[in-house]
Amino acid sequence: MRKPFKWTAVLLMTFIFVFVTACSSGNNNNKNTSDSTGNDKTNTSTNTADTGNSTNANTNEPAPAAEPDPYFGKYDPPINITSVRVINDTYKFMEGQTIDNNMWTQQLQEKLGINVKYDWVVSGDQPGGQGEQKMNVSIASGDLPAFIPVNAKQLKQLQEADELEDLTAVYEKYASPFLKEILNQDGPAALASATFGGKLMAIPNTGSSMDGAAMIWIRKDWLDKLSLQPPQTMADVLAISEAFTTKDPDGDGKPNSYGIAMNKDLYGGFADITGLMNSYHAYPKSWIKDASGNLVYGSIQPEMKTALAVLQEMYKKGQIDKEFGVKDGGKEAELTASGKIGMQFGQMWNPLWPLVDNKKNDPNAQWQSYPLASADDQPVTPQVGFSVGQYFVVKKGAEHPEALLKMLNLFVETGWGETTTPENYAKYFTGDGFEKFKNMPFQAWPARKNLDIYLHVTAALDSKDTSALNPEEKDNHDKIASWMDGSNKEPLNWAYERVFGKEGSFKVIDQYVSGKALKLTEFYGAPTPAMVEKESNLQKRELETFTKIIMGDSLDTFDKFVEEWKKLGGDEITQEVNDWAKNK
């Protein structure tokens, strides 16, 4: 399951994506067709493609050749494709395997007849890291493989330089129906962001925006101890924070507990201010529409000042750790694990990190997720970001671009398709302590994958019938069921129950999605020129200003920040963003 921030860093899914050169089906002389998993299947019908000697039983004339499978047809003879790879320290390989030779490269060879060759492999996948730098050098020099993994800025550079193959027709013919479904699960923006002048120039590596929606995590055992009800409004949230700070919920007789957790970066998915801001209809670091339909930057809107005033008051009352300004997410997690935090605004994955550590230290600790609560009579619309961070492109003139789609077809079918099996999932995704999916050169992930796990697992828990679950769902079901029936009280099983169980965090996500409550950022293009030049400094000033206000600076500091933001490049960025919106 794919999760952001610390979930990715600590538990599972740090993804690196690669593009590979592909082959045209016009040269596909394969003698076998394939089933939907890519497993070769000899054609046993009267009309075969195996040999020119096959005949039509009624006419004794040669039978027409079968149409090659556009989705999983194997190249015969095999083809070689070139790409590059950016990895990180979380990449681990089973004995005898490497980035060049592993279960996924073997799968590509055996099922599709594709041999992957990397021009270079570097470690460092963080923004601005060695991988991005190396790719920038390759783009500048023109020394590019046939299939290229790029970010949004690099995609725009290559498109403007006329270096990319138009994938419009290739996508329509070779993307399987299941892959097309996955690429559109998060809405049309993913493919739209890869489309220029009506032409699809890249395939987006899709993720899930809904998975990043904010929610409130509260120590339910503390609520019960203090005879408090779950929050319905922000007034309730503030009252709970005050009670957790002043009424000794941990029972040690000392005033050493805090109402909410915060970290020095203010964001990040744990101890994050985003959810609180959304409760006041403020949308930090997001582009939203104003009353006239123009795009404006959420962090400089008046609602932000209102929410910052609330945080300032909470800090003044001791409801926030006085040292939050020097504690990153890891340090704040330690405080949470020690049992000194009663509530935090975070995301769906928080039980797996760091709340599970609190459960390990205190078996009686029980965290419960709740939807964001509004500060007034207007509904909350939790903000979510754009879920595509990387794209796969094909160098203009490269042979066989359809191989890119075939490989993506194989990845999604192996993971979540109707034909996948527990054995296949364990072999190619996770198992034996390895995150095997990382070996696949390129990937696409269903936006609804985790929500569907919740819906299917909870249905199976009610019906006691697991026959319809796919391998990943069955694995989650078994963890949850073993926690619930007491057969395995491993804290990690508790964490999965808190995410995918009947009262898990995806109950909140399901409520958001069903109610069409999520607010997607309005800008999903490549960084504009002014963003590239000035955004880093503006974001640094934003973080410093907001932190100082929370810790006691005058609220008028916010108005001065807005003025500076506009003068130091914000107005220029805003104009570029609105120009993009008019021309997208």
Q: pLDDT of 560-574, one tens digit each?
A: 999 999 999 999 999
Buried b / exposed e across 508-534, counting CB within 10 Å, b at 16+? bbbebeeeeebbbbbbbbbbbebbeeb
Least confident of 17-31, 124-138, 198-212, 408-422: 17-31
From the number of C-beta atoms within 10 Å of its C-beta (0-12, 13-18, 19+), residue 90 rates as: middle
Least confident of 197-201, 432-436, 518-522: 432-436
pLDDT of residue 51: 33
State the Cα–Cα distance between residues 263 and 265, nearest whole angstrom. 6
Q: pLDDT of 306-362, one tens digit each?
A: 999 999 999 999 999 999 999 999 999 999 999 999 999 999 999 999 999 999 999
Q: Are 353 and 6 in contact (CB under 8 A)?
A: yes
pLDDT category of residue 430 using cuts at 50, 70 and 90 = confident
Structure tokens at 143: 């020394």
Length of the chain, in residues = 584
Largest CA-CA distance found in the chain, in angstroms, rounded: 95
Q: Are 85 and 121 in contact (CB under 8 A)?
A: yes
Structure tokens at 256: 């050493």
Least confident of 366-370, 463-467, 470-474: 470-474
pLDDT category of residue 65 using cuts at 50, 70 and 90 = low
How far, in whole angstroms, is CA 117 from its chain's centroid?
A: 27
**pTM for this one?**
0.84
Q: What is the DSSP string of 78-105?
A: -EEEEEEEEE-TT----TT--SSSSHHH
Q: pLDDT of 95-105, one tens digit each?
A: 999 999 999 99
pLDDT category of residue 35 using cuts at 50, 70 and 90 = very low
Least confident of 59-63, 379-383, 560-564, 569-573: 59-63
State the Cα–Cα distance between residues 439 and 340, nearest whole angstrom. 40
Q: pLDDT of 107-121, one tens digit each?
A: 999 999 999 999 999
- Which residues lie across from 394 on neighbouring strands? 147
